[in-house]
Amino acid sequence: MHKDQGKTGGVKGYLTKRRLYVVGCITLLCFSFGFVWNTYNDTWEFTSSKVSYIMSNNTQDLDDFHKVNLLSNHTCFLEDLLQVKLPRMIYTKPQILKPSRSDVLTMTPWFAPIVWEGTYNSEILNEQFRRRNVTVGLTVFAIKKYVVFLKKFLETAEMYFMVGHRVNYYIFTDRPEEVPEVVLKEGRNVVVLQVQNYPRWQEISMRRMELISNFSQRFINEVSYLVCVDVDMRFNDQVGVEILSNLFGTLHPGFYAAERQSFTYERRPASQAYVPSDEGDFYYAGGFFGGTVMEVYKLTKKCHEAIMMDKANGIEAIWQEESHLNKYFVYYKPTKILSPEYLWDDDMGRPEILKKRRFLAVRKNHAAIRNK
Ligand code: UD2
């Protein structure tokens, strides 16, 4: 027998006894290492799932603990817990027994808040909306001579409207070349939408419903909310995310304290805007409403259809689209209502309840500006 053959004759000339011994030792070492490694991992998994178990519910019985342990998926829960970071939110605590305003109604009977100065904290609201990276669309019509209002409107909007948020100004006009250039802050854009004009100012005012609904296909891809306002206005104080909600309307400055009977709703049953004398909550202004693009689409489409039906029947509502808006809000209640702070006219004086005048009518000479 060859000296390298030994008792394992089968491996003749290939593995010697000594080599086999070395291979055996290495194999044994590998197995031992694997066992130690697995045991270490199992112990770690056990420990980490135990941490998550303890954190989640320390009153569970042992069966539950085993279930949790089995379900655990190699995640290091402890590390995850250490990574959870939430911003601190420091502000004055709300006081249940001390309402912030007791001089005005701050909630409707259908639980829609009415927004007055003192009823909200803009720091909390700004934080919530910024996290959602919300973009707001502001629609405004400047047809014919009304382009003259755009400069002041846009300049003051840059100072006070949705400060710190993303804004698209959608300017509907028949005179795109007359839209003034205004310096805009970051994240804010002017979009000029060329539209036709009409001879009568009433028609221009009413057609806003049709145009906003027609452009909603575009708006839905670009903004989350739409705010629809008159152009012969200027911002005079902050108008921020506190106004945003699914569907909102604004109390008309001339009627916020009036009784139902004095609201200038359309009272002729022949009109689609007709509201019976024993219905209605508030009188809303045509010059400031809004909501999500979808809700504004539904509102403007419905109002436009009603306007067209009236036209076919040879009737025009007393306050044009404002009458149709008011009819809509009787049956589709707004989810938030803006106080007259958000649409004021200094000709109405300065009542005590009005802590801010955020959006003010610009005085205009009707004869000189309308139908021109
Ligand atoms: C009230 C309403 C307005 C509308 C109107 C209907 C308020 C503050 N305003 O405003 O929203 O319901 O009654 O009668 O509640 N426009 C033009 N070119 C024109 C005419 C009008 O661009 O030639 C646009 C412009 O955006 C203007 C808006 O239509 O702001 C409403 O017209 P208005 O301001 O002359 O009507 P007014 O003041 O009676």
pLDDT-derived band at 57, boundaries 50, 70, 90? very low
Whether 36 shows a pLDDT value over 60: the answer reads no
* Residues in Cβ contact with 286 at an 8 Å cutoff, skipping those fewer than 6 apart: 205, 230, 319, 320, 321, 322, 325
Q: Are 150 and 144 in contact (CB under 8 A)?
A: no
State the average pLDDT over residues 219-234.
98
* pLDDT > 70? residue 251: yes
Kindly give the distance from the C-alpha atom of residue 362 to the centroid of ligand 1, in angstroms, as a whole number.
Answer: 12
What distance in angstroms lies between residue 345's CA and the mean position of ligand 1's atoms?
14
Task: Answer left, alpha or beta for residue 146, where phi above 0 means left and psi between -120 and 50 means alpha.
Answer: alpha
Averaged pLDDT, 242-253 = 98
Q: Is 316 in the pocket of ligand 1 (CB under 6 A)?
A: no
Q: Residue 85 above 90 pLDDT? A: no
pLDDT band at 12 (very low <50, low <70, confident <90, very high): very low
**Ligand 1, closest atom to CA 232?**
30
* The pLDDT value given to residue 250: 99
| Set 186, 322, 341, 352: catalytic member | 322
| pLDDT, mean of residues 251-261 | 97
Q: Which pLDDT band holds residue 86 (cuts at 50, 70, 90)?
A: confident
- 249 close to ligand 1 (CB < 6 Angstrom): no
SS (H, E, C) the chain: CCCCCCCCHHHCCCCCHHHHHHHHHHHHHHHHHHHHHHHHHHHHHHHHHHHHHHHHCCCCCHHHHHHHHHHCCCCCHHHHHHHCCCCCCCCCCCCCCCCCCCCCCCECCCCCEEECCCCCCHHHHHHHHHHCCCEEEEEEEECHHHHHHHHHHHHHHHHHECCCCEEEEEEEECCHHHCCCCCCCCCEEEEEEECCCCCCHHHHHHHHHHHHHHCHHHHHHHCCEEEEECCCEEECCCECHHHCCCEEEEECCCCCCCCHHHCCCECCCCCCCECCCCCCCCCEEEEEEEEEHHHHHHHHHHHHHHHHHHHHCCCCCCCHHHHHHHHHHHHCCCCEEECHHHCECHHHCCCCCCCCCCEEECCCCHHHHCCC
Report percent pLDDT > 90 for the chain.
Answer: 73
**pLDDT at 52 exceeding the cut of 90:** no
Is residue 369 very low, low, confident or very high in pLDDT (cuts 50, 70, 90)? confident
* Ligand 1 proximity of 141 Cβ (cutoff 6 Å): yes
322 is catalytic: yes
State the pLDDT at residue 6. 35
Nearest CA to ligand 1 atom 4: 286
**What pLDDT sits at residue 370?**
75
pLDDT at 316 over 90: yes
- pLDDT one-digit tens code per residue, 277-308: 999 999 999 999 999 999 999 999 999 999 99
* Atom number, ligand 1, closest to the C-alpha of residue 142: 22
Is residue 266 lining ligand 1, measured as CB closer than 6 Å? Answer: no
Kindly indicate the confidence band of residue 88, based on its pLDDT and cuts at 50, 70 and 90. Answer: confident
- CA 208, distance to chain mean position in Å, is 23
Span 102-118, pLDDT tens digits: 999 999 999 999 999 99
* Ligand 1 centroid – CA 99 distance (Å): 36
Take residue 105 and report the two structure tokens written for it: 């109604």
Q: Which pLDDT does position 199 carry in this prediction?
A: 96
pLDDT at residue 10 in the model: 36
- Ligand 1 near 211 CB (within 6 A): no
Q: What percent of the chain has pLDDT above 70? A: 77
